[in-house]
Chains A and B, each alone.
Chain A
Amino acid sequence: MPTIQDIATYAESSAKKLGIVKYDVYGSSVDETSVQVDKGDPKQVKASNRSSVIVRVWNPDGKVGVTSTSDVDPLGMDLALKTAQEASAFGVDDHIPDFSPEAVAPTADVQVETVPPAPVGDLVSTLIDVEKQLLAAHPAIASVPYNGLAQRAIDRFYLNSAGALRQEARSYTSLYLYSKTEQEGRKPRSAGAMRVNRGLPLLDIEGCLKEATEKTISHLDYDKVASGKYRVVFSGEAFLSLLGAFSNMYNAQSILDNRSLSTADSLGTVVASPLLSVYDDALHPENVSAETFDGEGTPTRRVPIIEQGVLTQFLHSAGTAKRMGATPTGHASIGAKVSVSPSYYQVLPGAEASSEFNLETAENVIFIDDLQALHAGVNALQGSFSLPFDGWLVNGGSRTSIESATVAGDFRELLKAIVHVEPEAEITPGGLCPRIWVDALSITGEG
């Protein structure tokens, strides 16, 4: 595979040949391996080594055209630039994207350890051993139908014709275990766990195994739940998945597109209970995928989104920041239309609370561990959701798994109905978040 310097040279050479004066390139090279096992044997091993780049070209009229390609040799770069040049004739006339004013600004001095990839044999033997332990943990655990151990090394870069050139390397290893139970006369139950870290030696395998085991066993004793309004406790992961599904609320591009639950005037308004404060912090030390610059080369940073219930700041690209008189926040991905997305959430922990908000003592509350099918059950433009979930009915510390149910509501009402934020945050792949208590959500039980 060509190096980033090679790609920069190819781009410069092709641009010169095609008469292109202004361009930028964002790209990455990925080397990854993943394994799955089935009852003690390797089932499938996958490996991939690939590169891809997105090029943007400004034509003499100042309009932009874009092309992405996986062919990063001189021929491929030439074709990509030529195609982007052709597409630039149809670029937007208003609010034309430009280089980020911060594309050459210093990035955070973050030292991120990259871990050399483990031999495939180590991945396979590790996963076989983990599967064996999970199957042995309880007689009802009959299989681990979904499992995987994967490692990935990524080199990413941004460069432009004005001289910007950034690059960084990262490595990740992830483990997921999803086990299934079988008991005579009972319905099969399933649950899982996942861990991510920078390399196999750093991965919390024991923690993942323990969580998958405990969760699976906790769903053996299941029952239907009566439909009605309940006080609901979201796990950190469940709350973050819901927050992410409604991120148009603080996404400047969505707001400018009129496809948001907010408007430009929403800054400074109360959108949630004063108990809730949310930040986005790509550089948080717990974020194993911490990136120091975004797709436009803008340095990433910590951004306060909601502080004590008040909408404080939107997430921006260079273009949205310019249009809204703000500063880019390092959340852009380049493309034919620059998009904006969050990096790593941090929901601030709350305070200790009375027994009313303690899962060991609370009565008749629903504890939602995992929300499912968000792609189908969330209407992000209406603010509504109706989602199946894994969870328990909790009474005085006793948990009964819920056989099959949905939780439904309006996300804006949910944020205002938060009655407690627990004092200890969970570390999840998507961010840090404590358990969040919400009043009066609709639960529909099956049957």
Chain B
Amino acid sequence: MTVAPFPTPLLKTNDLLQRDYAAPRDRFDSAWEATLSTLLGLGRAAGADFVEFFLERNNYISCQAEDDAITSLSPRLVTGAGVRVFLGKADCYVSTNDLTFNGLKAALDKALAIMGLTLPGPHTNLAEINLELLRDYATAKGKDAWLSQCSSMQEMGDVLLAANGALGQKASHVQSRRAVYFRDWQEVLVAASDGTFARDIRLTQSVGYNLLCADGEHRSSIGQRAGDTSDPAFLRNWDYATAAADVAESAGKMLYADYVESGSYPVIMANKFGGVIFHEACGHLLETTQIERGTTPFIDKKGQKIAHENLTAWDEGISPDAFGTIDMDDEGMPAQRTLLIENGVLKNFLSDRAGSMRTGHPRTGSGRRQGFTYAAASRMRNTYIAPGDYSVEELFASVEKGIYCKQMGGGSVGPTGQFNFAVSEAYLIENGQITKPLKGATLIGEATEIMDKISMCSNDLDLAAGFCGSISGSIYVTVGQPHLKVDSITVGGR
């Protein structure tokens, strides 16, 4: 009697050529499980300690109205993937446009080679990675139809032209007026050798104005944006009449403003985008990326007082519709609310996977990236200072001579903790009253010093949409705060 050889239940690497690993390019779902679990298994068999794939499909469109014409309608279609390989605490990230099995395998092979590893030989038993049942935030939260529910090209043009018309009616001395909108639809799939398998759809939209007014040598330019992360009807519901009135009023006030006189002043920062001060002066320094580099003065300050006892601050990814809200981060971890500072005491850092591995601080669902060409890094989401007990009136009443920073421009923080940010709309405060508009102000200081000077927080917390550029690209974030008072800050001017 002859006994047929018992077929091995194990997958051998040379079987890969016979297998059909075709997965749909136009949808990331559980049909990708076989492809990704096999590739992850190959990576682990090669000796990698950890392997992660990030797949992305992106359908982006921007539209711009200038004066009374649509001057730009720009769609962009992107597909790509990145593979990250860890060996010890070192890692390598390789990205590609090629989402075929062989394309992804080539990217993996390159990443492994860079780390000094090689794919297993042709007759090696291959342990595929057991992925969790797909955690599909898109389907679970009804996001699959979002793209089709968004404004059409025709509607984008109609809304922006109407909005720009409204701005033209509200503003005077107009040199140029723009209404701009973008919609960024992104589908992502994350699979990792620890079994992570998760999918999400993000819909980020932003609309706003940019107004330039001129009268002789006097000029003012004011920008304003609103943002949203989950409402397909966001553009059609935009209250552009109110936004136009606000922008026109600000531009009118700033047109004849004097330049600020440089010096050291008490400053009242407005709520909403005033929160950029905390984002730049402290938020970035609480990312584990900064701990890894040794570029944060707060590196060993967990549990210690780093700010005024009236200051409590959060970073979270769960506020409905906020610009930095995410159901999962770009490493497949559900978003959470992270207490950063409580009554002046540092409570937590923001950590991604690599940051957690290298610094020991637990992951906080903060691994974020612009797209597939970037490895995820610890980044902020919705970051804000909690409301305090004072009224706005009490803050103003406490200032004899100072500056009211109503609208902030951008800012940055350097490797030694020095920060700076521009003020796009400012006013002089004299004896508790706003007396005249000022322009050309830049606020500079040291993160460690400014945090102890935020002495009063009002009770009117509000959030604003923003963009943050850093190591893993440009991402959508929220900044926020109530009105707050900084006892003293250096104001650069003329």
Stretch at the interface among A11-19, A403-411, A420-428: A403-411
Stretch at the interface among A151-159, A168-176, A348-356, A376-384: A376-384
CB-based contact B220/A382 at 8 Å: yes
CB-based contact B212/A258 at 8 Å: yes
CB-based contact B293/A45 at 8 Å: no
Residues of B within 8 A of A375 (CB): 410, 412
CB-based contact A44/B90 at 8 Å: yes
Partner of A377, one of B95, B295, B442: B442
Residues of B within 8 A of A145 (CB): 293-295, 415
CB-based contact B97/A51 at 8 Å: yes
Q: Is the interface of B mostly helix, strand, loop or mixed?
A: strand
Q: Shortest beta-carbon distance, A322 to chain B, in Å? A: 16
CB-based contact B77/A67 at 8 Å: yes
CB-based contact B493/A404 at 8 Å: no
With contacts A50-B80, A70-B79, A372-B414 known, is A90 near B73, CB below 8 A? yes
CB-based contact A190/B75 at 8 Å: no
Residues of A within 8 A of B422 (CB): 373, 376-377, 379, 386
CB-based contact A90/B157 at 8 Å: yes
Tell me the total A-B contact number using a CB cutoff of 8 A: 230
Enumerate B77-124 residues with CB–CB distance to A below 8 Å.
Answer: 77-80, 89-98, 107, 110-111, 113-115
How far, in whole Å, are A404 and B418 apart by their CA atoms in the complex?
A: 8
Q: Does A178 contact B (CB under 8 A)?
A: yes
Contact with B along A135-170 (1 / 0, CB 8 A): 000000011011000000000000000000000000
CB-based contact B420/A372 at 8 Å: yes
CB-based contact A66/B74 at 8 Å: yes
Size class of the contact patch on chain B? 35 or more
- Which A-chain residue is minimally distant from B116 (CB atoms)? A121
CB-based contact B79/A71 at 8 Å: yes
Enumerate A10-60 residues with CB–CB distance to B below 8 Å.
Answer: 33, 38, 41-51
CB-based contact A259/B97 at 8 Å: no
Q: Does B440 contact A (CB under 8 A)?
A: yes
Q: Does A336 contact B (CB under 8 A)?
A: yes
Partner of B440, one of A92, A120, A408: A408
Size class of the contact patch on chain A? 35 or more
Residues of A within 8 A of B400 (CB): none
- Which B-chain residue is minimally distant from A187 (CB atoms)? B416
With contacts A43-B90, A388-B444, A406-B420 known, is A381 near B221, CB below 8 A? yes
CB-based contact A408/B153 at 8 Å: no
CB-based contact B373/A50 at 8 Å: yes
CB-based contact B77/A76 at 8 Å: yes
Q: Among A80, A387, A388, A447, find the residue whose CB has the most chain B CB atoms closer than 10 A.
A: A388
Q: Shortest beta-carbon distance, A42 to chain B, in Å? A: 5
Residues of B within 8 A of A337 (CB): 64, 71-72, 74
Q: Does A400 contact B (CB under 8 A)?
A: no
Residues of A within 8 A of B444 (CB): 388, 404-406, 444, 446
Contact with A along B384-418 (1 / 0, CB 8 A): 00000000000000000000000001111011111
CB-based contact B77/A83 at 8 Å: yes
With contacts A83-B77, A87-B73, A382-B221 known, is A178 near B415, CB below 8 A? yes
Residues of A within 8 A of B110 (CB): 47
- Which A-chain residue is minimally distant from B100 (CB atoms)? A73
17 A–B contacts from the bound complex (CB under 8 Å): A45-B93, A49-B97, A66-B73, A69-B76, A79-B77, A86-B153, A143-B293, A187-B416, A258-B175, A258-B212, A259-B212, A373-B412, A376-B420, A377-B420, A381-B219, A382-B439, A447-B490
- Closest A-B pairs by Cβ, 4 of them: A406-B492, A336-B74, A376-B410, A444-B262
- Interface of A toward B, CB cutoff 8 Å: 1, 33, 38, 41-51, 65-72, 75-76, 79-80, 83-84, 86-87, 89-94, 120, 142-143, 145-146, 178, 180, 187-190, 227, 257-259, 335-337, 372-373, 375-377, 379, 381-384, 386-388, 404-406, 408-409, 442, 444-447
- Interface of B toward A, CB cutoff 8 Å: 25, 62, 64, 66, 69-80, 89-98, 107, 110-111, 113-115, 153-154, 157, 175-176, 212, 219-221, 259, 262-264, 292-295, 373, 375, 409-412, 414-418, 420-422, 424, 439-442, 444-446, 490-494
